[in-house]
Amino acid sequence: MNILYKSEPERGRIWAALLAELAPEAVFRQWPDIGEAAEIDYLVAWQPPEDVSVFTGLKALFSVGAGAEQFDYAALPPDLPVVRMIEPGLTSGMVEYVTFAVLGLHREMPRYLQQQRNRRWLAHPAMPAAKRRVGVMGVGALGEAVLKPLVQLGFDCAGWSRTAKHIAGVASFAGAAQLGAFLARSDILICLLPLTAATEGILNAELFSQLPTGASLIQVGRGKQLNHQHLLNALDSGQLAAAVVDVTEPEPLPEDHPFWHHPALWLTPHIASQAQPESALRALLENIRRFERGEPMHGVVERERGY
């Protein structure tokens, strides 16, 4: 198995050492040291080299992240399997971040931090978790995982996806026809959708207006899904009480962007979750072995649906 890796050099060094233990038969090359291009079986990258046609024996392209929208599919052979990253380290990171953000919003931490800045000692009634309705847009590998601890904490949980789901303790809403009903019962809305033609710009004024007044947003999907001005308008009008935003377009934001200092908005620099080198390598190897045994891989992108 010949693997060409083209991403962060530090992770490449860790993978090279781990591979020597876990798959000593593997040949691991790090971009730009491609060796004989025709001998490369698997390419692992955030962005592949411009011309992949030189890799005449290529069997699959693996994304180093959960998203695979960054690839120019027109430049890839139509039958080449493209695989996104599903691995426990990346999933745990997202579970931690979303749980932290939901609890922070549920316990009104943006409001209390503002009070602290103004030296105001003022308690507000606390709402029990069972009365807080949490809605997750995108119930895939990550969306399903973040719902589990939220159900355990007692939140009233729902998910919205393209196809209906059956998850204990989670009300399922599916497709455009059920989006309005899902939004109407989401006090805390979490976006974990992939970026596709259908989800670009989805977090906009029309969507915010369908949420209960005073709802909150956690945006951990992709930057292009969120209309910044519409979010600011919704926060300033009180339609939304607070937002936690991890992904933006562009990244990083310009220095004078209002998100940096809006009192009701917490901004993080696209750190909600990252693939962890060891568990990600184990997941990659498992997928390659599945492929070589003729079994289906986890996370193969369906090009026609866009994720």
Q: How far apart are the first and last CA of the chain?
A: 26
**Looking at beta carbons only, is 44 or 275 nearer to ligand GLV?**
275
Taking the least distance from each CB to ligand NAP, the nearer of 25 and 302 is: 302
CB atoms within 10 A of CB 193: 26
DSSP SS3 for 52: helix
Q: Which residue is nearest to ligand GLV (CB)?
A: 65
Q: What is the smallest separation between the CB atom of 158 and ligand GLV, expressed in angstroms?
A: 24
- Among the listed residues 48, 81, 104, 194, the single contact to ligand NAP using CB under 6 A: 194
Choose the catalytic residue: 107, 270, 298, 303.
270
Distance CA 225, CA 127 (A): 30
Query: CB neighbours of 51 closer than 8 A, spacing ≥ 6?
Result: none
Contact with ligand GLV (CB under 6 A): which of 48, 67, 159, 299? 67
- Segment 263 to 292, residues that bind ligand GLV, using CB under 6 A: 275
Extract the tokens encoding 269. Answer: 């620099």
Binding residues among 40-99 for ligand NAP as defined by CB under 6 A: 66-67, 94
Nearest to 138, CA basis, from 193, 179, 84:
193
* CA gap 12, 258 in Å, rounded: 37
Binding to ligand GLV (CB under 6 A) within 230-249 occurs at none
Does 134 bind ligand GLV (CB under 6 A)? Our answer is: no
Distance from C-alpha of 235 to C-alpha of 188, rounded to nearest angstrom? 14
Of 15-23, 117-125, 219-227, 254-262, the window that binds ligand NAP (rule: CB under 6 A) is: 219-227
Give ∠ CA 81-87-88 in degrees, rounded to 5. 165
270 is an active site residue: yes
Q: Of the listed pieces 7-15, 55-63, 192-200, 226-234, which binds ligand NAP according to CB under 6 A?
A: 192-200
Active-site residue numbers? 222, 270
